Chain A
């Protein structure tokens, strides 16, 4: 069974400050990991994904995440927050082998303070 835990349902940062959104996963096999962003009343947009290649993954909009097997973590970071980054962020996990079900975390709402 696979699962994802996102620590902190709400995170507030000042504009220009570091963004750190935490995600820990549980999986019986080496997983695939994803970060998605959702703006109000919209679907989800893929930010980045880890699929067993490089452990440091760079995504769109300046975000990146590092897969740490020893910590079972896949935290999302961005060096400098922008007002447009305010949104809901979802971490997700799936197990390799075709069209496996993706399990989503409960989401973290990022607030950027001017």
Chain B
């Protein structure tokens, strides 16, 4: 149980284009989803927290107009990197917390490797 998928697993795009990454909870309802960014050989940096049906809460220093997050349903959240640039190249990981999950346990997707040329 508690499986989270991400699509695509990797993407290469040209500078200036937009890229959408999907995060789905496959066997549970996720009231809250989280988006992280991981640089090589570093820990996870929380970018934003999204609750179904409401606006995402962004961490300090994360541009909300550049990283658009939509959490339209209890099983789907999307992250759109707008006007991507090479410095946006990174490993993006989403996680989901089950509805009523007060223990804070997050279940992680497999990640999406974004390369901007």
* Chain A residues within CB distance 8 Å of chain B: 32, 34, 36, 41-46, 49, 51, 90, 94-102, 104-107
Contacts and interface: CB of A to CB of B under 8 A. Distances in A.
Contact of A94 (B6, B104, B111): B104
B105 A34 contact: yes
Contacts of B4: 43
A90 to B, nearest CB: 6
B110 A99 contact: no
A43 B49 contact: no
Contacts, number: 60
Given A36-B108, A44-B108, A49 B102 contact: no
A90 B49 CA distance: 20
Q: Is the interface of A mostly helix, strand, loop or mixed?
A: loop
A102 B108 CA distance: 12
Interface string B42-67: 11101001010000000000000000
B104 A43 contact: no
B102 A46 contact: no
Q: Is the interface of B mostly helix, strand, loop or mixed?
A: strand
Contact of A41 (B32, B34, B51, B113): B113
Contacts of B102: 96-98
3 A-B pairs with the lowest CB-CB distances in the bound complex, closest first: A94-B104, A43-B108, A44-B108
B106 interface: yes
Q: Taking each of A41, A44, A45, A98, which has the highest tally of chain B beta carbons within 10 Å of its own beta carbon?
A: A44
12 contacts: A41-B91, A41-B113, A42-B111, A44-B44, A49-B103, A90-B44, A95-B104, A99-B49, A99-B97, A99-B101, A105-B43, A107-B43
B74 interface: no
A26 to B, nearest CB: 16
B105 A49 contact: yes
A102 B95 CA distance: 11
